[in-house]
Structure 1
């Protein structure tokens, strides 16, 4: 088989890249290891930056987002038993929209199927070769067990941290920057109305907590826990009790409880690979970088990558390699800004079990300054709503 771009992975990065290329008249084939329903239903991030919302609207995929998304013009920063609002729109003129990553994926899958674009699920044994040439080759086993060979002009590795794309790059080419944090998130999805109209980020002596939502009837909540924590030790009652304790403020606040639909523990890490390109293989999204979720940057960073990559690939196929050659450097400037912001939010809000009293006082000082200084709040808001795409 022959195509112009082989896209490995049908997450938001891979699907959005394929659709952007389609709109630019470039052929692409998307290969995904999971089945169609798993891809459409897997729950991930839920905060869309303003540039992400604008892009999806611009390319004709903003209908459901506009109808079902939950625009937020601010969020709450809680510490010292007090609520402090970060007024995103007042400070920046922009907002964020709560709209689940799985909903964006559904919109993209539907758009691919409506346009009859090649999207292959349940593929296995994917291997990449000839990446240094102008004709890379992707081999894989399709859903019926038949081995296929796909020749292309470029490969987009959008298959996440554990995918095959990054390991296909020879040893010694990539430089890895990584940091693991001494805490994890216990996340729950509950069928209950949100307890607050906006997100709540909480610093509490017992640990960080986050109140978020996925819809008017489904709430997403998180608790800081030890990375080695046993999920079985957390009954529903224990989870609700701990959330109520950490989210409490001096004044009226009642945490709405309901049936917990899903729960899991996610470790926290920062990860960046440089460069994000090797020959005709281009890495995007989680295949190239991971951010702790505190800053709500993961999915939005993947969107920013593929905006740059789509333009670079279109130019490359037209004979101009300049954007392809600068792809990694262009993306990494935004990646490192997002890494820093995510690190800042994470270290400001979480309780570090190894921190001494001096470090704890510095952390509290940063929280107080951020909540009381318009300049500090504006810097936080500007990064949170999303910097403009390059």
Structure 2
């Protein structure tokens, strides 16, 4: 009985705290002139660095008399706002969005195919249950965040629908994205993304991958797209899957990579930063030709099969690994988005691989 009373008191306490968070958020939106409070960074549950007072926390405390522990919960309460309040927030509080790298112009992300869990639309029709899911097209934009986009594309390649499973819309027009920072949590944000300097589909149109990237900018990037440039694939695997997957040496045999992929584990490969920048790897079928490889870049490992260096099936040829450049772009000699490398070429090209957890 005492345990039941404690559970009831705890439930009432959480409900009261949630109501207070919503009241404070509405108070913030009603202030004129509005403070440029970075609610996105607050939603990442950041704490001021030791010895360095946070001007952000100070502004919120002086305006609304809230402390550093209550502030990080404000944006989490945004999904309880009305649609009209959300529209006002997006139009009048610029810092509700992460700071873009380029111009502050925003475009909406189509939410078709994204449904709230438990809704009638989320349940597939009888004839569509066994229909194969097509992988979402994911391409890196002009941000230097290949470490994140390549891992997201590898997870999507290994389990089609993975990216959409991380995003769910709310009733008032916002969306929630599931990340591990480090624990699993849903990050609340608006369904619009920068018009430039971001990820998207093959033609760089906004899609669910754009929203996942935005959530990373809000949390791991502390409210800025610039801060998610240049990092390690192991960090991205932690953010997306909750599993820390450190880099490991490039295997001597491609059968090892084939085993990882067959087990449903996403794999990415990283190149070393070179003083001369991008480099070339000679082709084995023609020593006078070569393929261009980006330095300091992360590639998606897609499959291992008996292929030619142009990707055509070759039953009598050696095993080759298909690696994909998430940057995409214009094809040409020697630039190729998809490379088909032998074990020797793979070791010559890449310095390490990251292998994620089983996704299927």
TM range (shorter): under 0.3
Q: Which has the higher strand share?
A: 1
Task: Tell me: higher relative CO, structure 1 or 2? Use CA pairs within 8 A at least 6 residues apart.
Answer: 1
- Which structure: larger Rg? 2
TM-score normalized with structure 1 length: 0.24
TM-score normalized with structure 2 length: 0.25
